[in-house]
Each structure stands twice: as structure tokens, then as C-alpha cells.
Amino acid sequence: MNSLPVWPIMLPLGAALLAVIWPRRSAWIGIAASLATLTAVGLLMAQVASRGTLVHALGGWEPGLGIALRADALAVALLLMSSLVALAAGWYATGYFRDANRQSQFWPVWLLMLAALHAMLLSADLFNIYVTLELLGLSAVALAALGGGRAAIEAALRYLTVGLLGSLAFLAGVAVMYTRYGTLDMLALAALIEPGPASWLALSLMTAGLLVKSALFPLHFWLPPAHANAPAPVSAALSALVVKAAVYLMMRLWLDLFAPILGPASAWLLGLLGAAAVLWGSWSALRAQRLKLLAAYSTVAQLGYLFIFFPLLAALPPGPARDTAFGALVLMALTHGFAKSALFLAAGMIQQHAGHDRIEELGGTARALPVTTFTFALAGVALIGLPPSGAFLAKWQLLSSAIALGQWLWVPVVAAGSLMAAAYVFRVLGFAFGPSNGVMQKLADGREGLPALLLAIVATAVLGLGAAAVWHFVAPGALLTEAQR
């Protein structure tokens, strides 16, 4: 079955259309499509694990004229995360949107976002990546505006304008690449790529666009309002998946396509910005008054860690040490995806139950919402990077690579970021275990909190204890450049 890479895109896309046609059945269609997508991704993963990277030429048109889909270990690992998070957040959304009208507005855009995300992960063509980047951006903006309030719409508009400028910069970079190399197929480009002003210009333009989209400090300003004002299932997907997609493209460009021609010096800039993001994001999360704003600033910080890996990977020669560090980067990204979506869903539960999400007035939450409070703590374990979470192993690997390479700067940054993460998680838990203020007295039904709890367990236990499998799957033969070695 060579057409397997098509299904993770076509299933949500088709279901989005069905959800428009049958608005009253949209929740059922959405859940069924999410389950089917997860199954397709599972099959794809099994194929990639046994046979290696799959390439599929859409419609039988060979790359050059047609568009190729390429499923390698990195893409499939992120696909699995996205379909699991989407299933859990969608399951939660069936209870979150009480009104049938809201359900029918949510599902088509949600499924479109999923289709765009999966198409981006599987694209092996720079222009196709631009198109999926725009589709993802547009559907994400529509979802972010779903909250309906004035603040949500303002945040969505800023998100839209900033995102559009980001993708236009990316497109300008694509134009430069085409002028220089005459092809946009990434496999062909990997064989042709060479140092020179055109390559640097193209990489700078595409990087500038992606840094805006991945909200790397100091271009993160649009993220906290957009993520904090969206409905909880949407915030979960925006923070866990949509920003991660831009980081994935940065990994593709910096660690894969352009890796052979990049010196270690240029990646230092990304690392320094990442370090600033860790410090500033964690500090802002610590000072946040609202729970969802805390979660959004924590995303800014957690994305920073991913960028600290870039100078380390650039300094490591191809080989087992680089593969190990690369596996740690993927593990960090996956852990954050599960932990942050769990955190946002938990925050949504608290907000719906208490009627607000002001951190200092959350007394009694632990008694009224025991499952949700437990979820929040578990997700917090993964965000801080305590064992047995995946983030613990990833940070451990980050620190040992930094020490081995003599890049000492990152050690205090990671330590300070982790300490501040512990402080902002325990600050919330401290208030949650405090005395009730009257609102939070009734014990809530625990079943509603189940999707979030499962996500948090994946982040904290499954990814930590099963980390060897992730490393084994992702590290060898994951990349475009592998074909040339």
C-alpha cells in the first residue's frame, strides 16, 4: 500500500467537508475521522519502521512537475503526536461546546487545520510547504477567533497579520531557491545545495518567516493573547501542534536540507534567541495572573529549549552523538506537545467550573476537581522536566551535549528555566490546594477530565519510560541528507 501517506491528509479533509454538509452530526463525523486518521498514522508508522522512508508521488506525477509526499521517521513521529492530541482535544471539545451551533462551527475548521498540518508534515516540496503553512495559519486564526469575544477577535487579527507576513517572507525565500536551483523538490535540492549568497539569502528569508510563526523570542508577542483567549481545545492544539509545525520546518531546513553547508556559528544566533525565550517566557509565566496566560507564556519558554538544541546539533559531526542529540530534540518536542495540550485542557476545565481562571482565586480546585488538578500536576512534571517525563531525558541529554561540547552557556539557562517552571507550576498548585472561596465546592464529574489526564500520562510516563523506542525510531535514517551519505 504505497498510497498510505495520503490518508492522514485526506481523512480529515473529507470529514471537514462532511461536517459542513451535516452540521448536526459534525461531532460524530469529527470523532470518527480522528479515530480513522489515528489508525492510518499507525499503519504508516508500522510501514516506516519496517521499510524506512516512504515517498509517494501524488496522482502518479513524478516530482518536478507533480508534488511528492514523503513520510520519514521525524514526520511520522510528529504525525502520531498530532493525531493523538487532536483525538483527545476533540473528545474534550464534544463536552466543552455545550451548544450544538458552536459544535458545528468548530468541527469543520478543526478538521481543516488537522488536514493542513498533516499535509505540511508530509510535504517534500518547498512551495507545497508554503501553501500548507498558509492553510494552517488561516484555519488556526479562524479557530482562535471562535471564542467570539472582543479580545479573542483582536488577538486573532494580530495572529493573522503577523502570520501572513511570516509566510510571505517564507515565500520570498522559496522564490530565491527556485531562481538559484531551478527546483523546489526537497530531495532534489538536498543533492544540489551548495554554499553561496543565494543559499544564505533564501535560508535567511525562510528562517525569518518561520521564526515569526514559531514565536521565538522576541517575535513571540502575538502568541500569548491568541493562545490565551481561544477556547480550551483550540488553545491546546495551537500551543501543542501549530507552533510546533513551524519548529518542525526549522528542523527540516537547519538540521536537514541546509545542514551540510551551515557552519556552527550561525546556529548560535538561534540558540541565543532560544535561551532568551526560556528566561523571558518562564519569568512571564511566573508573573501571569491568569492560568491560560501562564500556559501560553510557558509555551514561549518551552519552544526556546528546542532552539537551544540547534547550536549543539550544528557543532556535532554526523554520527551516533548527533543522532542521540537529535532524538532528544524530538523527544522534547513530543513531550511538550502532550504536556501543554493536557495543561490547556485542564485549564479549560478549571475555567468552566470556576467561571474564571484567575490564579489567585483558585482555592478549592483540588477538592472540586481532583482529576483535573492531578492532570495539571502531571503536565507540570513534564514541563519542569522531572523524571520520569520525556522532558527529563531530553534536558539531561541537552545538558550532557552542552558540557561535552564546552558550550557552557546553555547549562545555567536550562537550570534557571527549569527552576522557574517548577515555581510557576507549584504556585498554581499552592492556590489550588488552598481553602475554597465558595464557588469551588461541588465535586465535578471526573469523566470529563479523562482526555486531558491521558495526554498528561503520555507526556509524563509513556514518553519517559518508552524514550528508547522514540530514539531508536527517529535517530537513524530520518533525514533527506541521509540518501546522500
Partner 1 sequence: MLFAEITYALTGIGLFALGLRGSLLRRSLLGRIIGFNVCGAGVFMLFVAIAYRGPEQVPDALPHALVLTGIVVAVSATALALALGRRLRESEHE
* Residues at the site binding partner 1, with contacts judged by CB under 8 A: 127, 131, 134, 138, 141-142, 145, 149-150, 153-154, 156-157, 160-161, 164-165, 168, 171-172, 174-175, 178-179
> Residue 144 phi/psi, 5° resolution?
-65, -30
For residues 181 and 431, which CB has a smaller minimum distance to partner 1 in the complex? 181
For residues 58 and 164, which CB has a smaller minimum distance to partner 1 in the complex? 164
Q: To the nearest whole angstrom, how small is the minimum distance from the Cβ of residue 127 to partner 1?
A: 6
Q: To the nearest whole angstrom, how small is the minimum distance from the Cβ of residue 163 to partner 1?
A: 9
Which grid cell sits at 339? Answer: 504536556
For residues 169 and 386, which CB has a smaller minimum distance to partner 1 in the complex? 169
Contacts (Cβ under 8 Å, ≥6 apart) of 228: 155, 235, 290, 292, 293, 295, 296
Q: To the nearest whole angstrom, how small is the minimum distance from the Cβ of residue 61 to partner 1?
A: 13
Report CA dihedral (229, 114, 218, 255) to the nearest 10 degrees.
160
Give residue 52's region: left, alpha or beta (phi > 0; psi -120 to 50).
left
Q: To the nearest whole angstrom, how small is the minimum distance from the Cβ of residue 170 to partner 1?
A: 10
Task: Report the alpha-carbon distance of residue 253 to residue 344 in Å, rounded.
Answer: 30
For residues 249 and 379, which CB has a smaller minimum distance to partner 1 in the complex? 249
Q: To the nearest whole angstrom, how small is the minimum distance from the Cβ of residue 312 to partner 1?
A: 33
- Annotate 369-420 with DSSP letters as a single string: -HHHHHHHHHHHHHHHT-TTSHHHHHHHHHHHHHHHHT-TTHHHHHHHHHHH
Q: To the nearest whole angstrom, how small is the minimum distance from the Cβ of residue 291 to partner 1?
A: 24
Strand partners, 63: 66
Task: Report the alpha-carbon distance of residue 29 to residue 157 in Å, rounded.
Answer: 29
Q: To the nearest whole angstrom, how small is the minimum distance from the Cβ of residue 203 to partner 1?
A: 17
For residues 3 and 161, which CB has a smaller minimum distance to partner 1 in the complex? 161
Task: Report the alpha-carbon distance of residue 391 to residue 331 in Å, rounded.
Answer: 7
Pick from 49, 163, 162: which is nearest to 113 by CA? 163
Tell me the residue type at 328: A
For residues 132 and 302, which CB has a smaller minimum distance to partner 1 in the complex? 132
For residues 177 and 440, which CB has a smaller minimum distance to partner 1 in the complex? 177
